[in-house]
Amino acid sequence: MSVPVPSKLLARYSPLVIAAAVQLVVVLVAPSTPVSLAGLGDQPGTGSGVTGGSGATGGATGTLGSSGTGSGTAGGSGTGGSGTGSGGTGSGTGGSTVGGSSGATGQVGSCPGLQPAPWAYMPPCRTFTGANAGASMPGVTAKEIRYVWYEGVTPAALAAIGSQAGLAFTEKQLCEGLTAYTKVVNKRWQLYGRHLVPLDGPGSHSGMANGDNSCRYPYYQGDNCDSTDAACWRAQADVIASMKPKPAFVVGGVQVQVPFLDELAKKHILVLGQGQVAAFAQPRAPYVWDWQMSGENVASFGAEYFCQKLAGKPVKYAGSEVLHSGSNPTVPPVRKIAIIHDVPVPDTFTASAKRFMSTVKGCGGGNVDEFPFAANVSTLPQDMQTIAAKIKLGGYTTVYLYMDLIAAIPLSNDLDAENWHPEMVIAGNGAIDDDKLAQLMNQNVWRYAFGPSLTKFSYALQQFDFYKAYKDSGATDDPAALMGNAWPYFWLAGDMFQTAGPAPTIGSIQAGMFSLPLMGGQPAHPAMQYGVPGDGYLGQRDIREVWWCPTRNAPNGRAGVYVGVDSDRRWQHGQIDKRMRVYPQGVCGA
């Protein structure tokens, strides 16, 4: 074996050494570092300040009264732009982001042709005559408010199974539903001479390509992105952000993943979709909105429910072995509370769970212990076995299920296997309050399930706004049940552009939405309000209280249904009282 002589080595590697040396010098002289060190909340320059400027025009050209003119002027100087509202800490030299809110305070009165029905989430109507402000923000013209409806891909096998189970809709039903809702918002909401126009996706994302001749609704056909493929989701957002013409807003709905929302927000595009937690939506303000309740608020309701009704009191609604587990078997022990929560990647649950614990502890609930688990299907069964045993060994009488149903199924079986049947207090998130899905639980355990529920699944379709709106469009058939997931994004968009006034900007939209009073609150329509400090962008603000009846039939004909107390009355923060209703006098007979 010959050993290379140094000169040979030098000859071989000298180009590399020289290149490395040059690179080192360049790094020192002209480093390749980012120019902007700013986050979303303090982006200078190009944000809403620019668009806020046209609020002046809106105020000037509309006939909405004096308040429009003043604030519109402030918007007019907003070329520096302080960017994005509550998250912003930047130093733009322009006017307020809410400069364009001038039009938001138009006259309220009777609106012939508009708003004929007391739909739950319709803001007070406004009259308007004259010209609007024209192109006050990207995607808005004098006549149009362009938007993108994102439609994901459901794998064929899953779609077929969903269809069998009545959990799906056909493409035609979807098309007709979205067309109807667009029509209804244009017909009933005050859009100041504009109307909503859906945009078709570019190239292979064209939704029109998928329609049949009987229904043509343009939408963005999403890619078949895996839920963990953040790159794929961000790339789709990039495509939407670069569309020409640009959309004023994007409806991601319940189908998109967090990176999609994040990327659109970073590109200063309004997006309506499930942000899940205020900790996500708030730093991206005011670009990510949703109608659903934030994870933080879910836990907050849970804490209030515990503090009012359960904490510090003897256990009452559990199995007999739990009721007699105290040091004196004849007296039920004081509740010992466990919160079971999943830890997704990234973790959006733990902070809220900790807050729940501290709140309940603060109201006399004693020590509340947490039982976190990984949202990992392959280890879930084993972890749940350990949690169930730990709950029994620890003598926990009451379990707060701040989790979704996939984990609750094995947990219910494992608790039953341990012959430990504690009070199962649901949080209401993760579809755990859905009748059909709760029927999958071990009924020996689930018979002790009760607590806050966010929505109501069991009503007849005719009672819901999504049904009424569909009919209002002139449709003669009924909408698919799952169109109830689509309608909220349409009323949300309608509210945004009505309350923003004739010169909508991202700032005026925010101001307009924040100025809205609490809406809804009826059994079939949860209360919604935006602008709540710290949780301004996720709407739902109330719960109902339910108890599980394992023997009564649900609308799907199977035994097991959630029964609401007080005729499904909904409760907001501060309204939850100390009374426990219905049970054990007979929830099933109620």
Partner 1 sequence: MTFWLRRAGGLLACLLAFDLVLKGQLPPLGILVLSSVIGLSYALLAIGLILVYRANNLLNLSQAQMGAGPAILGVLMLKVWHVPYVVALGATVLAAAALGGLVEFVIMRRFARAPRLVAMIATIGLSLVLGLLQLVVPPWVFGVSLTGLGGRTVDSSPPTTPFSGLHFEISRVRFSGDVLVLVVITALAVAALTLFFRRSNVGMAIRASAENADRARLMGISVRRLSTVVWMIAAVLSALAIFLQTAITGTNLGVDIGPTALIYGLAAAIFARMESFPRALLGGIGVGVLTQSVYYVYNDPFLPGAIMVPTLLVVLLAQRGRLSRAEDAGLSSYKQAAEFRPLPPELRRLREVVWGRRVAAVVALAAVVLAPTRLDVGRQSLAAVVIVYAIVCVSLVILTGWSGQISLGQWGLAGVGAFIAGWFGGHLHADLFVTLLVAGLAGAAASLVIGLPALRIQGPFLAATTLAFAVSVQVLLLSPKYFGDFLPDTLHTVDRPVLYGRWSLDGPLSFYYVCLATLGCALASARSLRRTRAGRAIIGVRDNTRGAQSFGISVARTRIMAFVISGFWAAVAGALFVYQQGALDQSSFDPSVSILLLTIVVIGGVTSLPGAMLGAAYLGILRYGGFGTQLQTLATGLGVLILLLIAPGGVAQGFYSVRDTMLRWVAARHGILVPSLTEDRRVAGLEDARAGEVHTVTDSDEPPGPRDDEVHPLQAALA
Surface-to-core class of residue 141, CB atoms within 10 Å of its CB (0-12 exposed, 13-18 middle, 19+ buried): middle
> Does position 320 bind partner 1 by CB under 8 A?
no
When the beta carbons of 348 and 359 are compared against partner 1, the nearer one is: 348
Options 165, 216, 245, 364; binder of partner 1; rule CB under 8 A: 165
Using CB under 8 A as the binding rule, whether residue 39 contacts partner 1 is answered as: yes
Beta bridge partners of 402: 341
d(CA 290, CA 145): 19
Q: State yes or no: residue 336 binds partner 1 (CB under 8 A).
A: no
Residue whose CB is less far from partner 1, 117 or 160? 160
**H helix intervals, 86-225:** 156-164, 171-188
Instruction: Say how many Å lie between the first and final Cα of the chain, rounded.
Output: 92
Assess 437 for contact with partner 1 (CB under 8 A): yes
From the list 46-54, 89-97, 99-107, 379-387, the region that binds partner 1 by CB under 8 A is 379-387
Minimum Å distance from CB 434 to partner 1?
10
Q: Which H or E run contains 465?
A: helix 465-472
**In terms of DSSP H, where are the helices of 129-277?**
156-164, 171-188, 230-241, 258-266
> How far, in Å, CA of 124 to CA of 122, rounded?
7
Nearest residue (CB) to partner 1, 279 versus 475: 279
- Whole-number minimum distance, CB 159 to partner 1, in Å? 10
- Of residues 492 through 551, those in contact with partner 1 by CB under 8 A are none
Q: Give residues 398-417 in contact with partner 1 (rule: CB under 8 A).
A: 406, 409-410, 412-414, 416-417
Closer by beta carbon to partner 1, 29 or else 567? 29
Give the whole-angstrom CA distance, residue 98 versus residue 58.
13
- Contact call for residue 153 and partner 1 (CB under 8 A): yes
Closest-CA residue to 367 (of 343, 324, 325, 397): 397
Least CB distance to partner 1 at residue 94 (A): 23
Q: Is 284 in the site for partner 1 (CB under 8 A)?
A: yes
Restricted to residues 173-202, the positions that interact with partner 1 (CB under 8 A) are 202
Site for partner 1 in 222-241 (CB under 8 A): 223-224, 227-232, 234-236, 238-239, 241
Part in contact with partner 1 (CB under 8 A); list of ranges 19-27, 115-123, 495-503, 514-522? 19-27
Q: Which residue has the tokens 């107390």?
A: 565
Which residue from 380, 375, 371 is spatially nearest to 346, judged by alpha carbons?
375
How many angstroms separate the CA atoms of 85 and 105, rounded?
Answer: 20
Q: Which of 498, 507, 504, 508 is nearest to 139 (CA)?
A: 504
Using the minimum distance from each CB to partner 1, give the nearer residue, 36 or 129: 36
Indicate whether 134 belongs to the interface with partner 1 (CB under 8 A).
no
Amino acid present at 192: Y
- Among 6, 66, 156, 330, interactor with partner 1 by CB under 8 A: 156
Query: Taking CB under 8 A as the rule, does residue 380 contact partner 1?
Result: yes
Instruction: Kindly state the smallest distance separating residue 2's Cβ from partner 1, in Å.
Output: 10
Nearest distance, CB of residue 20 and partner 1, angstroms: 10
CA 243, 176, 122, 112 torsion-angle sign = positive
- Nearer to partner 1 among residue 352 and residue 442 (C-beta): 442
Residue 566: CB minimum distance to partner 1, A: 29
Q: Does 455 bind partner 1 (CB under 8 A)?
A: no
CB of 350 to partner 1, least distance (A): 8
Residue that has been written with the tokens 């994102």 in this structure: 150
Give the residue among 398, 214, 439 at the shortest CA–CA distance from 306.
Answer: 398
What type of residue is 494? G
The CB density around residue 239, as the number of other CB atoms within 10 Å, is 17
For 581, the 3-state DSSP assignment is coil
Task: State the angle between helix axes of 258-266 and 230-241 in degrees (0 to 180), rounded to the nearest 10.
Answer: 40
> Can residue 382 be called a binding residue for partner 1 (CB under 8 A)?
yes
Which residue's entry shows tokens 């918002």? 185
> Residue 5 interacts with partner 1 (CB under 8 A)?
no
The pair of three-digit structure tokens given for residue 301, joined into one six-digit string: 């309701």
Question: Does the protein bind partner 1 through residue 114 (CB under 8 A)?
Answer: no
Shortest Å distance, C-beta 498 to partner 1: 30
Of 47-55, 143-151, 278-286, 487-495, the segment contacting partner 1 by CB under 8 A is 278-286
